[in-house]
A and B are shown apart, each in its own frame.
Chain A
Amino acid sequence: MSGRTHFRVRCRETVSANRQAAYYKTPPSSVQVPDSPASSSSAAASPASTSQKKPEIVGDAQSSKLAESAPLPPKPAVGVTIHQLSRVFDTGITAIDRLDLTIDPGEFVAILGPSGCGKSTLLRIVAGLDRPTSGSATTGNVANPSIAYVFQDAHLLPWRNVLDNAALPLELLGMPKTERRKLAQAALEHVGLGDFLRQYPAQLSGGMRMRVSLARALVNRPSLLLLDEPFAALDEITRQSLDEQLRQLWQDLRMTVLFVTHSTTEAAFLANRAIVLTPRPARMIEDFSLNLPEKRDADLRGSLPFAEATHRIYSALQRGTDAGTEAK
């Protein structure tokens, strides 16, 4: 258990009972988390600013000891500023057209839009894997923010076991073997895979592989986590359970999250803010806060506010598609 404690950066207001509850081995839906000040509506409106100003490691004796030995300092979340961003491919197709967008540090943002509307391109540009044709995408004012990217499929190295797959980012950044394995183990325990360290990807189910992929993304304690339809290839039940885990991870770690998805329900369940894009070229048609409870669990899916949020996203998607059709 102590192996995980140094992993979480939390805001000061969060009560320690909440932290205890976060150590789930059981599905998070069965974990009862008492209401905390952090989950009040005011905090939900801007949870980012609180965690941004006072990031710290919540310390009992064990976790502070681990925090000292951990070579990676907790990183503050970073915001993303997208200014007049356009991306035109060599083929002449305009994927994104003069997009403006500001994302605060620590926000959980869902980005929705029809297939091929340039959502992935946007994510790749933010990650630095692609360059804008004009305009800019900048991440925070941190010199070298750590960015993690989760793909639609797990994309693990089949010749490496789970532990060494999760340790890969640290290995590439030059961390010695013992330290990176310790951190990778902590990250894997955090996603509930503590008992599968020596397994190989071929021996795991699709959902477990995706969790390894998540652990790999989190092992570096990213300031910004980019997810490109990460659970789209999974069955509905696995997907819901991973959504719950991801939401919990965000509540524990409070990094900035950009989550690209096709699913209105997934967006409503996970995010604090939803951005809906039009068909290609991507323009913003809707950008609103989801005023849902901070704590999300299976019960939320059946609630009226959830249905309303889902509907609002859906109708924005519909409007975007209609507008796109008329434009043609």
Chain B
Amino acid sequence: MAEQPMPLWEVFIRSRTGLAHRHVGSVHAADAEMALQAARDTYTRRGEGLSIWVVPSAVITASDPQDKDALFEPTASKIYRHPSFYRIPEEVGHM
């Protein structure tokens, strides 16, 4: 019987200290439930996680590296968009 390659899933983990889920890597799994378990077993072995998301890699639409200049270059000259000119009061916390 011909073996079918298992789909790839992207893994996002929200850590104990983190505010948002962060991409940590990928796993192979036959379906979503097994992907979640594989992600747990592969990426939370050292107490890293409080929450896991898995997303089929195939549904992610990525930008083309060749478009790098057109997409990202124009922002380089707009330093006034960086909030580094303002002092943020400490009480505000994370922005």
A binds B: no
